[in-house]
Amino acid sequence: MKFWETFSKNKLMVAGSGLVLLLLIISLLAPWLAPFDPGKIDLTNVLASPSMNHLFGTDQLGRDVLSRMIWGARISLKVGFVATGVAIIIGTILGAIAGYYGGWVDSVIMRFVDIMLCFPTFFLILAVIAFLEPSIWNIMIIIGLTGWMGVTRLVRADFISLRERDFVQAARAIGAGDLRIIFLHILPNAMASILVAATLGIAGAILTESALSFLGIGVQPPTPSWGNILTAGKDNIDIAWWLSLYPGLAILITVVGYNLLGEGIRDALDPRLKK
């Protein structure tokens, strides 16, 4: 109940939730909301400006931009959830092991985290993709495999503060094993940090995928993606402003929505922020 009280009072969190919910609805209902087939080429209607027939105009192949953006929302959500899921699983497991056992186990894991953080994430992704086929599944997995370090640090910090609590000592006293203590006793108490990291991670993954698609090494045409729509906008910026404006706004609104939601969840769940 306290969570929902804090939620309802936080207007920014409500706004972020509304934006995220709207994006989910649009992506789920894409086959019914899109007015045209996103892959239908119409060379008689190339780079048509926004009109009643094509609300967001058409691209360089005469495809309806609104339809492609609606289907692109589904791609963005898929990338966000899968990539963040991979990062959360890896980060949670490593952070839990490091924080619970400490000692040399903690040192080895955290030194590996430090090494990974030395590499600029985006350029590391570019380097890996250069050796792989630029498919949507490769993109999702690579983003996840290069985005777990922050989660590891958060989970480790929570486990270090929780592992000596009375309820953990009581679990040890009754003979509970390490795995039971980690996953059934400590991890549920660290879920607030994980949930916030996941929400913010989705926004970061969507932004990364859009950047990769913009560079031409992300989601490949004819699959619609906000990033590859922006690529067409870059090539025609002087005569087709709508190809840059609308997908750019979609990315901005989505990332802001997830960031507001993540900050709101943190404010609602973190007792240190409550007055």
Reported as a single tens digit per residue, the pLDDT across 115-128 is 988 888 778 787 77
List the domain boundaries for the chain: 11-35+57-273
What is the CA 154 to chain-centroid distance, rounded?
Answer: 17
The answer to whether 242 and 65 have CB atoms below 8 angstroms apart is yes
What SS3 state is found at 64?
strand
Instruction: Please state the CATH superfamily assignment of the domain spanning residues 11-35+57-273 in this structure.
Output: MetI-like (1.10.3720.10)
| Choice between 246 and 133, residue whose per-residue pLDDT is larger | 246
Q: Token pair 């990033």 is at which residue?
A: 227
pLDDT tens per residue across span 54-74: 889 898 888 999 999 999 998
CA 140 to CA 219: how far, in whole Å? Answer: 10
Intra-chain end-to-end CA distance of the chain, in Å: 16
The pair of structure tokens assigned to 143 is 């983003």
Instruction: Give the Cβ contact number of residue 120 at 10 Å.
Output: 11
Q: What is the CA radius of gyration of the chain?
A: 22
**Does the global pTM surpass 0.95?**
no
Phi, psi of 160 (to 5 degrees): -65, -40
pLDDT tens per residue across span 168-202: 888 888 888 888 888 888 888 888 889 889 988 99
